[in-house]
Structure 1
Amino acid sequence: MESHNLSSSSPLLSLPPSTLPASLPPSLSSSPSAFTTDWGSPGEASAPCHPASSPIVSAFLAPALGVEFVLGLLGNSLALFIFCFHTRPWTSNTVFLVSLVIADFLLIINLPLRVDYYFLREIWRFGATVCKVNLFMLSTNRSASVVFLTAIALNRYLKVVRPHHMLSRASVWAAARVAGGLWAGILLLNGHLLLSAYTNHSCLSYQLGKNTSASLRWHQALFVLEFFLPLALILFAIVSIGLTIRRRSLGGQTGPRRAVRMLAVVVAVYIICFLPSVILGMASMVAFRLHACHILNICSQLFHGSLAFTYLNSVLDPVLYCFSSPNFLRQGRALLGLSQSWQGSANDESSYQPSARYREASRKAKATEKLQAEVSLES
């Protein structure tokens, strides 16, 4: 059975290469992408599943990742230029957006190595050290992307639902310290990839087998957890904002409506980029446990192809910036010559000016009630 290797950077699993039975074809036993899974009851001969690299998947991923590299480099370079030189003053929202841009660059600078990897039918030729760094940075990109997408969503939640909370009024430096703490946690969570051993011609970050290490089990758990937990927080934020808009009758105001649109884009980017690999990776794990070799082969090839969607986040994130920052789209159009240049820059938090008016109206209403009470007492 032709098999398939589960790859690398944001993959969920791959199977460890091992010594194959002598009865297997030489082409399979010598393939650097072949691997074996041992099954069977004690004392019986093992029944191996042999997913191996698919030339069709490699032929698809090499050009797809090349296109994503070019588009991601252009979009994020423009975004970083706008945020650094055309956005004044910075806000807490800007800090998280810039962190997301940095996370995308971790992916972009490593994509050419993955293009070469798939162009050579999953043969890694840059050595073990470069492989470790490559997998570490790609995995860090995935973790940082979901973390800062969640931070952007929760920041919007605070601005609309909890405008009086001290976190809603956090300074830029406070947001920068929070972002720094998040980056430190992300690097620690993925640091085990720098300690893993890669001795063959494949460059893989996940393996499935009977003798899985603690590092591998942690990596698999992190892959699943860092998808579902942030997604729950993002959905909580968008539902809370929707209920707040309905309860306070804010549907006609610009700021809350922009927040809902931005969070809708966050959910869309999140699901498009990360859901396929998570679902197919979990399906491959189930097929592996059930010894369903044919289903494992199909799921592994689909999973491998879904990496193109995972890496697509660097291309789609600049679309999110257009919805998140009211100044970003104007500055981008001006720099591309699509509109007249804008002098100065709108505050990112200006989209929440209606919330400020709401607070002012609340204060006036309380003052009126207090005055009426005093007049009643005097009467």
Structure 2
Amino acid sequence: MEFHNLSSPSLLPPLSLSTLPPSPSPSAFTTALGSPGEPSKAPCHPASSPTVSAFLAPILCVEFVLGLVGNSLALFIFCCRTRPWTSNTVFLVSLVIADFLLIINLPLRVDYYFRHEIWRFKAAACKINLFMLSTNRTASVVFLTAIALNRYLKVVRPHHPLSRASVQAAAWVAGGLWGGILLLNGHLLLTTYSNSSCLSYRLGTSPSASLRWHQALYVLEFFLPLALILFAIVSIGLTIRRRSLGGQAGPRRAMRVLAVVVAVYTICFLPSVIFGLASMVAFRLRACSTLDICSQLFHSSLAFTYLNSVLDPVLYCFSSPKFLRQARALLGLSQSREDPAKDESSYEPSTRRRTTARKVGTAGKLQKEVSLEVSLE
């Protein structure tokens, strides 16, 4: 399976409009399905689709501009306007860095599609391009999951040591995650690209170890983190109901943040996974016409995959009231100057609620701690 994914190395054959004989076109992709002893049957030879390339090139241009503006604004706010940092801020900044890995490489891919999938740069540039785009996908998935689990700890397990981790500890965790992400995608830097199409690798009856590894990684890095995020949402929802935290701002915002995480996650990554798996099945069944349709849909779904750099700044606004306030001020959208202390207090329990919490004892104190800890994120 060649997933021609700018944020992930290709596992699916390039898109095609029809089943063609072997073509000298540099963007053609040959799938060798025949093997000794099998009846002779014409294999599928999908070629690049000019229609899909013409669709992706302008879409990626728009996503590049919007992603650059949104993430530059986010980086400025986090680095220059956000004090003090929290563990959640560390993971949000890591997500911004992951988005820039995609953004700085999109112009090369726009050029690639404008030229109908002809890579006019050197092979080393192709390796780096595919490596950084694949790293973007993995890092986006990892840090979206880290944000969800951080919210889970703040609400469900507020007394756990990880819930009270310092910013320095969170930075060490983020650094370890980055190291693992780079190792997971390092095989792309060792792959040889000999033609003018910058694709990760090809499918055949004897896939390489690198191909098998990437196929497994592509599937696991979607479904496993999704399971963790859904677990966090269900756990927070049950905790809010059990502890009667529905009237408190912190837990409510935690649920909103996770809802946005799931929305970004599914919109950006689910289409390519569905059409990618469908293309792999069609490839194995030698259903050439079905493979053409599925691969074109997969290729078009890349527009959703790269949309993550545009949607992530929306997540930052839901995640932190401070970020939203600063963004509105920098964009000139604030109607009046707000008192930061007043804004923060609006996310804490009211005086009456705190008084009631003291009377009810331990349960009330736990509610108050959860609200305060989550709201300060």
TM-score in same-fold range (> 0.5): yes
Q: Give, in whole Å, the separation in 2 of the partners of 1:335 and 1:342.
A: 13
Aligned pair in 2 of structure 1 residues 347, 161: CA closer, same or farther (>3 Å)?
farther
For structure 2, list consecutive stretches of 5 or more residues without a partner in the other structure: 15-19, 365-377
> Which of 46, 59, 69 lines up with 1:64 in the alignment?
59
Matched, 1:31 2:25: yes
Q: Deviations over 1:196-232 (max 9, x none)?
A: 0110111112421112110111011101100000000
> Which of 249, 260, 265 lines up with 1:265 in the alignment?
260
Equivalent residue, structure 1, for 2:11: 13
Q: Deviations over 1:66-107 (max 9, x none)?
A: 000000000000000000111000000000000000000000
- How far is 1:321 from its partner? 0.2
Q: Deviations over 1:313-350 (max 9, x none)?
A: 000000000000111111000011111455768999x8
* One-letter amino acid of the structure 2 residue matched with residue 100 of structure 1: L
Contact 1:150–1:230 (8 Å) recurs in 2: yes
Equivalent residue, structure 2, for 1:299: 294
Aligned pair in 2 of structure 1 residues 126, 362: CA closer, same or farther (>3 Å)?
farther
Q: Give, in whole Å, the separation in 2 of the partners of 1:310 and 1:153.
A: 20
Q: Deviations over 1:97-144 (max 9, x none)?
A: 000000000000000000000000000011110000000000000000
Matched, 1:274 2:272: no
Contact 2:279–2:291 (8 Å) recurs in 1: yes
Equivalent residue, structure 1, for 2:361: 365
Equivalent residue, structure 1, for 2:182: 187
TM-score, normalising length from structure 2?
0.88
Equivalent residue, structure 1, for 2:217: 222
Contact 2:13–2:295 (8 Å) recurs in 1: no
* One-letter amino acid of the structure 1 residue matched with residue 302 of structure 2: L
Aligned pair in 2 of structure 1 residues 206, 362: CA closer, same or farther (>3 Å)?
farther
Contact 1:88–1:344 (8 Å) recurs in 2: no
Q: Give, in whole Å, the separation in 2 of the partners of 1:280 and 1:149.
A: 22
Q: Give, in whole Å, the separation in 2 of the partners of 1:351 and 1:210.
A: 61
Q: Give, in whole Å, the separation in 1 of the partners of 2:349 and 2:302.
A: 41
- How far is 1:48 from its partner? 1.2
Equivalent residue, structure 2, for 1:96: 91
Q: Give, in whole Å, the separation in 1 of the partners of 2:363 and 2:223.
A: 45
SS at match of 1:29: coil
Equivalent residue, structure 2, for 1:371: none
Q: Give, in whole Å, the separation in 1 of the partners of 2:205 and 2:341.
A: 58
Aligned pair in 2 of structure 1 residues 36, 183: CA closer, same or farther (>3 Å)?
same
Contact 2:4–2:13 (8 Å) recurs in 1: no
* One-letter amino acid of the structure 2 residue matched with residue 365 of structure 1: G
Number of residue pairs matched?
Answer: 353
Matched, 1:177 2:172: yes
Aligned pair in 2 of structure 1 residues 12, 196: CA closer, same or farther (>3 Å)?
closer
Matched, 1:251 2:249: no
SS at match of 2:274: helix
Contact 1:15–1:209 (8 Å) recurs in 2: no
- How far is 1:11 from its partner? 5.5
Q: Give, in whole Å, the separation in 2 of the partners of 1:163 and 1:212.
A: 47
- How far is 1:51 from its partner? 1.0
- How far is 1:12 from its partner? 5.0
> Which of 144, 153, 165 lines up with 1:149 in the alignment?
144
Contact 1:161–1:240 (8 Å) recurs in 2: yes
Identity %: 79
Q: Give, in whole Å, the separation in 2 of the partners of 1:50 and 1:155.
A: 46
For structure 1, list consecutive stretches of 5 or more residues without a partner in the other structure: 17-23, 369-379
Q: For the aligned residues, what is the CA RMSD?
A: 2.6
Equivalent residue, structure 2, for 1:79: 74
Contact 2:102–2:306 (8 Å) recurs in 1: yes
Contact 1:65–1:308 (8 Å) recurs in 2: yes
Contact 1:327–1:346 (8 Å) recurs in 2: no
Aligned pair in 2 of structure 1 residues 341, 114: CA closer, same or farther (>3 Å)?
farther
Aligned pair in 2 of structure 1 residues 198, 80: CA closer, same or farther (>3 Å)?
same
